[in-house]
Amino acid sequence: MDKGKVYLVGAGPGDPKLITVRGLQCLERCDVVVYDRLASPRLLRHVKPTAEFIYVGKLPDRHTMKQEAINQLLVDLALAGKTVTRLKGGDPTIFGRVGEEAELLYDNGIEFEIVPGITSAIAVPAYAGIPVTHRDLASSLSIVTGHESPDKLDRSIYWDKVTNATGTLLFLMGVAKIGYIAEQLMKHGKPASTPVALVRWGTRVEQRTLVGTLADIEEKVKAANFQPPAVIIVGEVVLQREKLRWFERKPLFGTRVLVTRARAQASELSESIEELGGEPCEFPVIDIREPEGEAEVQALKEKLAEAGSYDWLIFTSVNGVDYFFRWLRRFGLDIRAFSKARIAAVGPKTAEALAHRGLLTEELPVKFHAESLLDRVEGWMKPGERALLPRGDLARDVLPRLLRERGVEAVEADVYETSIADTQDEFVMDWLREGAIGIITFTSSSTVTNLMTLLRKNGIEEPARALSGIPIASIGPITSETVRSVGLEVTVEAEEATIDGLLAAVVDWRHKDKASKEDD
């Protein structure tokens, strides 16, 4: 059997988008991922479905797997012919023990590659608004381990030289020894007033920053019960934080948002959440696919074959647009066959999807209120006209019913089907059980009912009770009704039933929630 290869990859400090392009390539091609707790679980979604996951993370009070056992595990997996990605937090060469792992691989004749990562020593302070160097404040820096016992720290650190030879001091893994570290720095010449910052879980949704001086930082850490992992920054650059804390000023900073949309649709919402400083937690509860039944396909083919008979093409969603054009290609049809028809779209995103295909549209209101819809239809459509509505099999009947009341023949064409997704994600389940989800977003009634079903399948017998303490954001009144029908409360509802409207509502809720907590 041919030997495999091991990639020793730095995952970066926590934000999954800070991994390198090369690191991402290693994840995508590997057979096994060996990872620890400092690597974002969201990175694991980039591996192929058949990949194996092995957790070897370390906690402050215990080691899940000893380092020697990890070293041997990498060897054994490679000898079995596996391509292995060893995913390590930060950069693997900075207190990451990559040398030990690589050395044993070399001794066993196994090919390996070290892929650098963005070290937490630089990235975490940057996300807290602290540049580790500054032309006027610090022209050098030192990175020091702070995890060892005081006697070992004294053997490995020349306190007199470290204290006085550099501008900024960075201690990794030193929260438990902060008092001793501060004491030694002051003993060897640092003023007691020297600024100090501790940044916990930097670059992640849990990021928290504590600022003090060498004289009072130990007391502040104890009072705040500030826990590891954290980066400690000592030096005048800490003062830059007041102006430069860009990440913490984002409107959704500190908020983990559960996204329940279908996987193919989730990226738009997730990317917007990230831009606003939140952490999207994707748990798709809907699968969207083409109808597969012979009768359904034949019925759709017949409806599309009557292209020349339609006065209107009315699209109610981006999915409807996408799947409509897929079927045209499959049946060998051309959009020009609908040349008689005027085109209407419900909402700006649907109109935008059509515009990308070179089609200009009439725009219908997003909210299907009878009065607003009828007012618009009154001036456009005439009794006796024929309209084709490409939509999903579970679409509401409001629009076709209103059209029929106006004497318009509404032909519904199910161009896609929706079903409950087969979603299993232990990280999401753990976050739900631990109350680590900041808000849940629902973009349709089916996302509500499907989430409840999936939670039951994942072992949560009473999902309504499990979710009762988590704020809920609904895209509109119909979805809100469904939320209440399953025993949950709606915290915020979008004024406009679009993704942008939903995001605006979440941002407004977060702003008010933060303000109320500050008042308390």
Contact between residue 464 and residue 283 where contact means Cβ atoms under 8 Å apart? no
Give me the sign of the Cα torsion angle 142, 143, 146, 152: negative
Given the residues 15, 36, 91, 311, select the one marked as catalytic.
36
Scanning 67-195, the segments in alpha helix (DSSP H) are 67-79, 98-107, 120-127, 150-156, 159-165, 178-187
- The b/e string for 377-415 (b: 16+ C-beta within 10 A; e otherwise) is beeebeeebbbbbbbbeebeeebbebbeebebbbbbbbb
Given the residues 3, 58, 250, 367, select the one marked as catalytic.
58
Q: How many CB atoms lie within 10 A of CB 294?
A: 8
Q: Going by DSSP bridges, is the β-strand pair 409-420/386-392 parallel, antiparallel, or unpaired? A: parallel
Residue with tokens 């102006």: 243
Cα–Cα–Cα angle for 264, 14, 210, rounded to 5 degrees: 130
DSSP annotation of 296 reads H
Q: Going by DSSP bridges, is the β-strand pair 286-289/409-420 parallel, antiparallel, or unpaired? A: antiparallel
Q: Is residue 250 annotated as part of the catalytic site, yes or no?
A: no
Give the C-alpha separation, 97 to 92, whole Å: 7
Cα–Cα–Cα angle for 434, 436, 437, rounded to 5 degrees: 125
Given the residues 15, 91, 173, 425, select the one marked as catalytic.
173
Q: Is residue 58 annotated as part of the catalytic site, yes or no?
A: yes
Contact between residue 258 and residue 427 where contact means Cβ atoms under 8 Å apart? no
Q: Going by DSSP bridges, is the β-strand pair 83-88/32-35 parallel, antiparallel, or unpaired? A: parallel
Give the C-alpha separation, 459 to 429, whole Å: 9
Q: Going by DSSP bridges, is the β-strand pair 195-200/208-213 parallel, antiparallel, or unpaired? A: antiparallel
Give the C-alpha separation, 10 to 20, whole Å: 8
- Spatial strand order in the sheet of 362-364: 286-289, 409-420, 386-392, 312-315, 342-346, 362-364
DSSP string, 470-515: S-EEESSHHHHHHHHHTT---SEE-SSSSHHHHHHHHHHHHHHHHH
DSSP annotation of 134 reads B
Among candidates 114, 137, 32, which has minimal Cα distance to 74? 32
Terminal CA-to-CA distance of the chain, rounded, Å? Answer: 65
Active-site residue set: 36, 58, 173
